[in-house]
Structure 1
């Protein structure tokens, strides 16, 4: 009787957990659908406005509104690509092309890209600390590593209205093996402590995105985790003591003997 009761209790707990997970997935998919629909509607409205008023507008206005349309389109493409990538990861169909590559070079490229994109926002500064490291060789997929870094920087900028975003790379040993440790530290709004443990889980959307000024689906960070796992690494997040979040990942140093 006791065993039967425990069995029923455990089954009920698993069913409730599954129902909750399915509900979370539905919420995220509904949110993604809403974002895509809103972006398409916004781009369509602006396109119609431009069509009707092009001759009445000056060059600066043309640039402004065309830029908004381009940004909308990029957002839609990213949402769709994220969903496709997530599907490939979940079904084991994601292919990786591992080569000897310089992680530091990829980091520098992303920092430069985001610094240029953020040039008109004098409230946020992006800093890279390389600790005198000139190269950080890993066995990696260059496209996926770029996607990983892009997602992490996007996330940091999304939640940091002012202050600093600091990127740091270090060489450390872990379990008697050398690893590159990359940290991205921001002075943003942080992550609720109750959400830190699951922030990289699939279809986990932070309550921080309840702020209407912040767009987020919870897909980007879960993709980051899948990319890191495929590179035999580890990723985690923690809140800073004073303000903001620290996201850190580790990837094994390139070893010619293992290729």
Structure 2
């Protein structure tokens, strides 16, 4: 955040408010002072004029009322006596003009040298005429049209002895402009004093404002520091006033935020570690379905970079358009299985949805937890298939046995030819079920790691010859074994002889079952340096390419009718695969329809040092 300039700072605002308040106070005081001063000066001026006019009017009234026959007039005419009285009047203001006018409007005397020539003439002054006609005139300031200056005009009536008849008027024009000039000078002095006071006050205001804004600036600086996650600094406390208390509260807040931030950061690291190391994928979305968070596991499951999916809609990412129309439906969707399988590669995801709510129980988003359930679904399907196959395999011999036993119960046991056949079939089916149960028990023990191996050092070539010899004694005459084994021995393996014997019996027995008349079974061993490659090749009907990998599954039969006829349980190659893998070997099959099948497996060779120790 950039620094706040002085002209936008609170310091300037404080100063402006301070100066405006001062200006307002000075304006009120100045206005009141100048108004009262003007009134006082005007009153003094008018009072001075009025007092002089009262004395002048008294003398003039005496002159107007004096009898011309009396010798007291000393032979002076009325005009001369009036002029004498006017000249003798003491007027402080030299710019005061006085005219004495008779009731006929004749100017009898004046103290204005410029207007002496008008004495004896009739006046044309409207104010005088108005005063003569109305017998009154309200004195007031006026503007002199010639000079443009303010003058005080007064018309004082003169009465006879009775006080009823108007004998004349005293017309006064006093220059009052000096009063207003004096007011203007005083106003200028007041303005200069105000400017000086405002300047000093502005400086003081800025200094005072700084004492207020300095702690605020420090708190702002500390707030910016706290926003960056640094809680180590404290705000200085300059007093015990409200700002000082605010600084104390700010430091307390800083401590609390430091503790809260540390707690949140610790929880964030824990959550980040959990999300990063989870095998399940986690996707967080907002209330409109836009992805806001996705961990690496979710990215691996979706086979995309998590950062590239931020902001995308979860309905599109999880391909839920056909199941969910509106994002709010996720609230009730619970768990959903999503099929992302491609071609022959199955890939199933389970998505569990939960809502995220605020304090007011308003939904603010959703959390989706993704799990790869491909293997789980495969195992579950195998379990269902296994149960179905076991049920089917047991039902067939049990149904056969039931049918034959019912026939024997109905009297067939008395038939010496049929009864032995029925009993023989029943016995064969019983033996078949016993073999199946034994095979299932063996697989169950191997699955639960309860099938111990008694391994020992074994020379494999001689061991293989022994197994072949035992089986060769019981094979049909129309089938021949071809031994493709190394001439010399010395190939030692670490095996459980009984278990590998069972492996060889299962593989060779299957080759015998599926070999045609006159067919050959090739038994081959090759030294591949670190392991032995053992293969059994027949010339039977073969297996289709798309079914080749399935022959090692439990209860799978390439030819169900033929296998059931030959008494197979469908578990032999499944057991064989388990036994080879616990010996750290591998087993596989190659086949072409109509040209036979080759079953191959490997066994690790014992190294030279180990053989020498043995």
TM-score range, shorter chain: 0.7 to 0.9
Q: Please, which of 559, 579, 594 is the counterpart of residue 208 of structure 1?
A: 559
User: In the superposition, relative to structure 1, how do residues 72 and 217 fare at CA in structure 2: closer, same or farther (>3 Å)?
Assistant: closer
* 1:257 matched to 2:580: no
Equivalent residue, structure 2, for 1:59? none
Q: Superposition pairs for residues 239-250 of structure 1, below 5 Å?
A: 239-240=591-592, 243-250=595-602
8 Å contact from structure 1 (residues 105, 135) kept in 2: no
Instruction: Quickly say closer, same or farther: Cα 1:32–1:170, change in 2 above 3 A.
Output: same
Distance in 2 (CA, whole Å) between partners of 1:24 and 1:113 is 36
Cross-structure match for 1:169: 525
Partner of 1:116: 473
Shift of 1:83: 0.7
Closer/same/farther in 2, CA of residues 239 and 79 from structure 1, 3 Å limit: same
Post-superposition Cα deviations, 1:205-229, rounded to whole Å, max 9, x if no partner, equal: 1231234534433311111111111
Does the CA-based 8 Å contact 1:239-1:245 persist in structure 2? yes
Asked if 1:88 is matched to 2:418, the reply is no
User: 2:390 matched to which residue of 1?
Assistant: 29
Q: Deviations over 1:182-210 (max 9, x none)?
A: 11000011112111123223x25123123
User: Structure 1: how far apart are the matches of 2:404 and 2:452?
Assistant: 33
> Aligned match of 1:8 in 338, 341, 361?
338
Higher RCO by CA contacts (8 Å cutoff, separation 6 or greater):
1
Contact preservation (8 Å) 1:28, 1:218: no
SS at structure 1 position matched to 2:543: coil
**1:143-182 map, 5 Å:** 143-162=498-517, 163-173=519-529, 177=530, 179-182=531-534
Query: Displacement of 1:25 after TM fit?
Result: 0.9
8 Å contact kept, 1:128–1:168: yes
Q: Secondary structure at the match of 2:318?
A: helix
Q: Do the aligned partners of residues 106 and 31 (structure 1) sit closer, same or farther apart at CA in structure 2, a change above 3 Å counting?
A: farther
Residue 606 of structure 2 aligns to a residue in which SS?
A: coil
Query: C-alpha displacement at 1:86, in angstroms?
Result: 0.5
Whole-angstrom CA distance in 2 between matches of 1:126 and 1:43: 38
TM-score (ref. length: structure 2): 0.35
Report if aligned partners of 1:195, 1:206 keep a CA contact under 8 Å in 2: no
Question: Does the CA-based 8 Å contact 2:458-2:495 persist in structure 1?
Answer: yes
CA distance in 2, matches of 1:65, 1:129: 44
Which deviations, in whole Å up to 9, do the C-alpha atoms of 1:227-248 show, x marking residues without a partner?
1111111110001586110001
For residue 319 of structure 2, give the secondary structure of its aligned residue in structure 1: helix
The answer as to 2:550 corresponding to 1:198 is yes
Distance verdict in 2 for CA 1:192–1:133, change over 3 Å: farther
The 8 Å contact of residues 541 and 593 in structure 2, kept in 1 or not, is answered as no
Secondary structure, counterpart of 1:131 in structure 2: coil
- Structure 1 segments unaligned to the other structure (5+ residues): 57-61
Q: State the match for 1:125 in structure 2.
A: 480
Q: Any conservation in 2 of the 1:189–1:244 contact (CA below 8 Å)?
A: yes
Partner of residue 220, structure 1: 572
CA distance in 2, matches of 1:94, 1:148: 15
Consecutive unaligned residues of structure 2, counting only runs of 5 or more, are: 1-313, 321-336, 340-347, 351-372
Instruction: Quote the RMSD (CA, aligned, Å).
Output: 3.7
Moved more, 87-96 or 213-222: 213-222
Structure 1 residues 24 and 210 mapped into 2: Cα distance closer, same or farther (>3 Å)?
A: farther
Is 1:107 equivalent to 2:464 in the alignment? yes
2:483–2:523 Cα contact (<8 Å) kept = yes
Give the one of 522, 532, 536 matched to 1:184.
536
Q: Distance in 1 between matches of 2:415 and 2:470?
A: 33
Q: Is residue 397–residue 430 contact of structure 2 (8 Å, CA) maintained in 1?
A: no
Deviations along 1:96-121, whole A, 9 cap, x unmatched?
A: 11110132233223222222222xx3
- Alpha-carbon displacement from aligned partner over 1:81-103 (angstroms, at most 9, x marks no partner): 21111001112221111110132
Q: Offset of 1:5 from its aligned partner?
A: 3.2
Structure 1 counterpart SS, 2:590: strand
Q: Tell me which residue corresponds to 2:103.
A: none
Q: 1:200 to 1:130 in 2, by over 3 A?
A: same
Distance in 2 between residues matched to 1:209 and 1:186, nearest whole Å: 19
Count of residue pairs the alignment pairs up: 246
Q: Which moved more, 1:221-230 or 1:33-42?
A: 33-42
2:537–2:597 Cα contact (<8 Å) kept: yes
Q: In structure 2, do the counterparts of structure 1 residues 66 and 138 end up closer, same or farther at CA, with 3 Å as the change threshold?
A: farther
Q: Which has the larger radius of gyration?
A: 2
